Structure 1
Amino acid sequence: MTGIFDRITAAEKPHHVAPEEVDAQAEGSPGPQPQVSHARDEEWRTPRKVREAVQEMLKYGLLEESQKPNLYRAALADTEAVERILEPLDLAMGIDDVRGLLFVMVRQAGQGEDDDWSHPLVRRQRLNLEQSLLIAVLRQHFIVYEQESGTGANLAQVAVDELIPQLQVYLGELGSEAGERNRVLALLDQLKGHGLVSAVDAHDRVVIRPIITHLANPENLQALVAWLRAQVQGTGAANTGEAGEQA
């Protein structure tokens, strides 16, 4: 006869589980959930080519058909997807299909909002007077080239020596040919960083990029002219004041 202590001891011993019982329990347990496959993950994503096109535009500010034809076509074929990506960033895509050009635009600020230069993705580097004047001169060369070769032609070139006398009209002479040349080369190098011109080639020429037609549009050029007039008037007023004090 089994005593009370024998029954208590037997109850506290670990129950031996047979191997077949372990297998049965393993089959019935849910176990770790399988990871979502890569194929299913891609179902809801924006197409890869469209993502790459937007990344290229955000990196350089523009996308040229002549430079990246596949990405250009991908963005143009799915403009709604591109706009969905850019809209939360307060950006939009400008389209110049005649010149084969897509470019990033800052959406117009609403009433009470800051201006475009406050946008966190826009470089806070305003063009100075010398750069703006050179852009205006280059745009004139580009327009003449398009009038002769047709809108959409993208090999507008200008020699460095052609730009020197045109800038002298506005900026005056430095008194040194080497100084004049270095000034133009330095300005061209700065504009190259904005994607407006190519590097100077072996024949001392640069290619003017089509984006210049949008950066130096009539509205911006009118603003530049108004600013120059204000500067001239301010200088004239200052000179008049100095003359009055001397008198």
Structure 2
Amino acid sequence: MTETDQDAPTAAQLWDGDTGTLRADSRRALAALIAGPYISAERQSQNWRALLADTDAVRSRLADLFLELVIDTERGVAFVRNAEADDGSAPQVVRTRSLTLMDTAMLLHLRRELVSAPAGQRVIVGQEEIFEQLSGYRAATSTDAALFTKRIRSSWKTMRDLGILQRTPATATEGRYEVSPVLRLIFGPEEISQLRAVYARMAEGGMSEEGETLEEDSDTAEGTTAEGTTAPDPAADDLTDKDLTDENPEDTP
């Protein structure tokens, strides 16, 4: 064997000194999962295909980082959540973020829109219509119209930042957004019950936006808090944790 042959990189070696064993596409899919909030089959088709082709290896790499892989092939989404060791010693790798009361109300409203839609139908919403539907909570959070508008606009931005609201080529010019199907997965029964309790208290005027915090540990949406409700910024900011769903996602491709 010549010196040139010995120095030639292997198929998996992407740079000098690279000891990784995953293919380049699989590494990109792994990096996308860790960065979060999730991988979409429709929007990230290359990462999605690589993940399905190398699921076991990617799952193993994530396990080394105390992370679990959740895949829902029917809805075409995948995300990671914090693993729960039997002895409770696993570190919380995915971060959570705080959600305000208005964030909580908007999350539940968007999820209800998603769950009530016919199977396979996209859910498209507009900012103004959502604002109008949530206007009934103004008395519960603030009597100041300008402050209420500021809070609801902030919550709308939060939903976009978390990837729950997404622009699509068909709706971008109309200022409308698609509700991501991942919203059906990131909150489990316990989280939904907790959110609904906050929602009900808001409707009754029993909570103010300031100072209320309800800690939740959902990883991709791992946490819910109501001003918070703490919600994970998926993955990097995890939008994923508990078992997240009314319907359990498939953990296999």
Following superposition, the deviation at residue 38 of structure 1 comes to: 0.5
Partner of 1:225: 196
| Amino acid in structure 2 at the alignment position of 1:97 | T
- The match for 1:86 is 62
Q: Helix, strand or coil for the counterpart of 1:52?
A: helix
Quick check: 80-89 or 162-171, which moved more?
A: 162-171
Are the equivalent residues in 1 in contact too, given 2:138–2:148 (CA < 8 A)? no
1:119 to 92, 111, 135: 92
Q: Distance in 2 between matches of 1:125 and 1:44?
A: 32
Conserved 8 A contact 2:29-2:48: yes
Amino acid at match of 1:203: E
Q: Which range moves more in the overlay, 88-97 or 100-109?
A: 100-109
1:137/1:124 CA distance change after superposition, 3 Å = same
Structure 1 residue 74 corresponds to structure 2 residue 74: no
Tell me which amino acid in the other structure corresponds to 2:136: V
- Residues of 2 paired with 1:70 and 1:197: CA distance? 21
Larger radius of gyration: 1
Q: 2 CA distance for matches of 1:41 and 1:65? A: 24
The answer as to whether partners of 1:159 and 1:204 remain within 8 angstroms in 2 is: yes
In structure 2, runs of 5+ residues without a counterpart are: 14-18, 208-253
RMSD: 3.3
In 2 relative to 1, CA 180–88 (structure 1 residues): closer, same or farther, beyond 3 Å?
A: same
Match of 2:237 in 1: none
Instruction: Report sequence identity in percent.
Output: 22
1:53 to 29, 32, 35: 29
The one-letter code matched in structure 2 to 1:211 is V
Higher helix share: 1
Distance in structure 2 (CA, Å) of the matches to 1:44 and 1:103: 22
- Aligned counterpart, 2:186: 215
The 2-side partners of 1:100 and 1:229 are apart by: 32
Could you report, residue by residue, the CA deviation over 1:173-230 in whole angstroms, capped at 9, with x for unpaired residues? 6454x65544332211112111111259443322211111122443311022345678
Deviations 1:62-91 (A, max 9, x none): 110111112201111221111111001111
Distance 1:106 1:226, change over 3 A: same
SS of alignment partner, residue 211 of structure 1:
helix
TM-score by length of 1: 0.66
Residue 119 of structure 1: SS of its match in structure 2?
Answer: coil
* C-alpha distance in 2 between matches for 1:197 and 1:79: 27
**Aligned partners of 1:113, 1:47: CA distance in 2, in Å?**
31
Alignment equivalent of 2:160, drawn from 192, 208, 212: 192
State the AA in 2 paired with 1:119: Q
Shift of 1:108: 2.3
**Residue-pair matches, total:** 194
Deviation at 1:34, TM superposition (A): 8.4
Tell me, which stretches of 5 or more residues in structure 1 are unaligned?
Answer: 1-31, 236-247
Residues 109-188 of structure 1: pairs in structure 2 closer than 5 A:
109-113=85-89, 119-120=92-93, 122-145=94-117, 147=118, 150-151=119-120, 153=121, 155-172=122-139, 174=143, 176=145, 180-188=148-156
Structure number with the higher strand fraction is 2
- When residues 207 and 83 of structure 1 are mapped into structure 2, their CA distance, relative to the original with a 3 A threshold, is same
TM-score, structure 2 normalization: 0.64
Following superposition, the deviation at residue 40 of structure 1 comes to 6.8
State the alpha-carbon separation in 2 of the partners of residues 108 and 71 from structure 1. Answer: 26
**Separation of aligned partners in 1, 2:164 and 2:129:** 17
Instruction: Provide the C-alpha distance between the structure 1 equivalents of 2:163 and 2:153, rounded to a whole number of angstroms.
Output: 15
Paired amino acid for 2:151: R
Contact 1:64 1:72 in 2 (8 A): yes
The verdict on how the C-alpha distance between 1:49 and 1:41 changes in structure 2, with shifts beyond 3 A counting, is: closer
